[in-house]
Amino acid sequence: MNNLSQITKRIRRDIIRSTTAAGSGHPSSSLSATDLMATLLFNGHFRADLSNPEYPNNDRLIFSKGHAAPLLYALYAAAGKVKDAELLTLRNIDSNLEGHPTRLFPYTEVPTGSLGQGLSAGVGMALWAKTNKLSYKTYVLLGDSEMAEGQVWEAMQLAAHYKLNNLVAILDVNRLGQRGETMHGYDVKNYQKKAAAFGWETIVIDGHNLRAIDVAFSKSKEQRAKSKPIMIIAKTIKGKGVKMIENKEGWHGKALSEKEAGVALKQLGVVEEVTGTIRMPLKISNSKLLIFNKITNYQLLVTHYTKPTATRHAYGNALITLGKTLPNLVVLDAETSNSTGAETFKKSDKKRFFEMFIAEQNMVSTALGMSRRGALPFCSTFAAFFTRAYDQIRMSAYADTPLVLVGSHSGVSIGSDGASQMALEDIAMMRAIERSIVLYPSDAVATERLVFEASQQKGIIYIRTTRAETPILYSPKEQFPVGGSKTLRSSDKDVVAVFAAGITVHEALKAYEELKHQGIMIRVVDMYSVKPLDVEVIKKACAETRALLVVEDHHREGGLYEAICGSDAVVRPTYSLAVTKRPHSGTMGELLSLEGINAGAIAEQITKIL
C-alpha cells in the first residue's frame, strides 16, 4: 500500500503537468478516479502483458468517461510504457495522446469520449470471453454524469441477461458534471438501488480509501460465483489532490495555469519516480487462439436459387455458409431476426447468435467490443432503426476494426407498414462515415456474394437489403467486387444510361423492355456498390450516351444520385428520380408509383429527356 500511495501521487502530478502543458484537458475528472484506477492496475487485480496489448487473454480496461484520458496516459506512464517527454505532448497535433482516447494510443480498447458507450463495448468484450471460455476480465470506468444516458442501462440489462460475471463497472461518483451537479449528486444509494434492480451485484466504497478500494476489487472476484456483473460505486471528490479545485464547480475541462500548477505540485510534495507493476495474464493454449480465415473460393458458396427471393432472406443463407468458414463470425440482431433473415443463422448456430433485443445503440457498441477482441460481427435490424445508433456507428469507425451492419426493409418498397419503418436516409448517413463501404444488392445471388465480400473488409460495412421478393438476375458464378457494378443492358445505340440499385434495378429493366418496343435503347447499370463507386462505368456512360438518369428508393439528399454527381466523373446532364413525397402506407406498387420511381416513371422521364 505504501508503494501504491506513491504511485497515486506520481499519477496526480503527471495529470497536472500534462494538462497544463496542453493548456486544456480534464484534470479534475482524472484526479477523482486516480485512486480507483491505480489500485486496479498496480495492486495485483489487473492482468495484462503490456508488451503485447492485443494478447487475447489480457484483462481489458475501458474508459467510458473518455475525458479522463490524462489519467489513462498517466497510468501507463507509471507502468513504464509512456515516456515523460511523450506525456507532455498531450493534445498536440502530432501526438498519440489525444484529448479523448483513440486507437493511436496502444492501450486504448475502443475510442471513447461520446459518453454512455463504453459499458456496451465492455459487454461485447465480456460476452466474447464467456463464449470462447477465456479467463480475462473486463473493467469499465464510468462517470456519474453519463449514467443519464439510456445506452448505459441498455448495457446493464443485457449484461445481467447474459450473466456476465466477468464484467466489472467502476462508477466514479464525483458529484459534478460539466455545468454543475449531476442528477443524483452524492446519492450513492440511488445508484446502488438502480444497479441492483438491473440484476447487478453492487459494492459501495469511499473512492479515495486505498484499502477499501483494494478490498472492493478482491470482493468483485468473489462475487463472480453469483453469475452477475459487478458494479463498484465509488464516492469521490472531483479534483482530488488539488485543494484549489476540489469539489468546486467551474473546473470541468479546464487546465490549471502554470502558476496554479506550481502551487498544486508544491502541495503534492516530493514525488518519487516509482514504477508500478502489472501482473501477467494467464497463458492460453494455441487451440484458444482463433485463426482468422480468408475465403479464397467463392465459387462453392452461393445458394442455388430457382425462384424470386428477398435479399434479406439471402442474407441469412449467406451467414450459414460463411459461418462454416469463419469461426470468429458472430451475428447480433435487435429482435427482428425473423424479418432481417438472421433467424436462419440462429437456427443453425445458436452459440454464435446473440439477441440484442430492441436496443440498437447497445447492439452496435457491443458488436464493436466483440470485434476488438477478434470477432467478425454482423449486426442486423430494420435499416430505419440504425439511425438511432448513428453516434455509435460514427464512433465505431474510429476503431479501425470490422463491423458489418445489415439494414433490411429499406425504402418505400416495404409497402403498407408506413413511414416509421421506411429507411430513406440510411445510404446518406452510412456514406458519410469515414472509410465506410455501402453495398445495395438487387438479387439473392448478389446479396450472398456481397456478404462474403463484406467479411473480407475493415471498418464499417453497410449492406442494404429489400423486403420484397425479387427475380434472380445473376448466375451463381457471378462475382461482385467492392467498388464494382453490373451493366445489365447496353448497346451502341443507347441514348440514356440508367443507374439504379436494389429494388429500382428491377424497375429499370422493366422500363428497358417498354422503351425497346418504342425503338428507344437505354443502358441499365446495377450500382450495387454505392461506396466506393465504379467511376469507370460512369465515365463510359458519359462517353457513350446523351444523359444519365439515377433512380433510387431513397431521398435524393445523400443517396446514389449525389454519390454519382460527386464522383467528378459526370460530364453529361444527370437527372434524378428519388423519394421526394412524404411516404404513406400502401402496396409496394402504389408507393413506387406515388414517388415516381417505378418503370412507368422511368420511361416517362427518359422520353422527356429525349
Return d(Cα 278, Cα 43) in angstroms, integer: 8
Q: Give strand pairing partners of 233.
A: 171, 204
419: amino acid identity, one letter: A
How far, in whole angstroms, is CA 369 from its chain's centroid? Answer: 8
Cell 476494426, located at residue: 401
Cα angle vertex 351, ends 350, 353, to 5°? 60
Of 146, 149, 360, 552, the catalytic one is: 360
Are 503 and 599 a contacting pair, CB within 8 Å? Answer: no
Provide the CB-side half-sphere exposure for 382 (13 A, CA): 21
485: amino acid identity, one letter: S
Phi-psi region of 121 (alpha: psi -120 to 50; beta: other; left: phi over 0): alpha
Peptide bond into 532 cis (omega under 30): yes
Q: Tell me whether residue 54 is exposed, middle or buried, using C-beta atoms within 10 angstroms of its C-beta: 0 to 12, 13 to 18, 19 or more.
A: exposed
509: amino acid identity, one letter: L
Return d(Cα 382, Cα 418) in angstroms, integer: 13
Are 379 and 364 a contacting pair, CB within 8 Å? Answer: yes
3-state secondary structure of 416: coil
- Count CB neighbours of 429 within 10 A: 18
Active-site annotation holds for 360: yes
Are 606 and 496 a contacting pair, CB within 8 Å? Answer: yes
Cell 484520458, located at residue: 69
Q: Tell me whether residue 434 is exposed, middle or buried, using C-beta atoms within 10 angstroms of its C-beta: 0 to 12, 13 to 18, 19 or more.
A: exposed
Q: By C-alpha distance, which of 473, 422, 471, 476 is closest to 449?
A: 476
Q: By C-alpha distance, which of 300, 304, 311, 303 is closest to 528?
A: 311
Q: Give strand pairing partners of 461.
A: 404, 437
DSSP category for residue 256: P
Q: How many residues does the chain have?
A: 610
DSSP category for residue 279: B
Return d(Cα 524, Cα 486) in angstroms, integer: 9
Q: Sort strands 529-531 and 437-439 into parallel, antiparallel or unpaired.
A: antiparallel
Return d(Cα 529, Cα 564) in angstroms, integer: 11
Exposure string for 296-333, b = 16+ CB within 10 A, e = fewer: eebeebbbebeeebbbbbbbbbbbebbbebbebbbbbb
Phi-psi region of 281 (alpha: psi -120 to 50; beta: other; left: phi over 0): beta
Cell 440489462, located at residue: 157
Active site members: 360
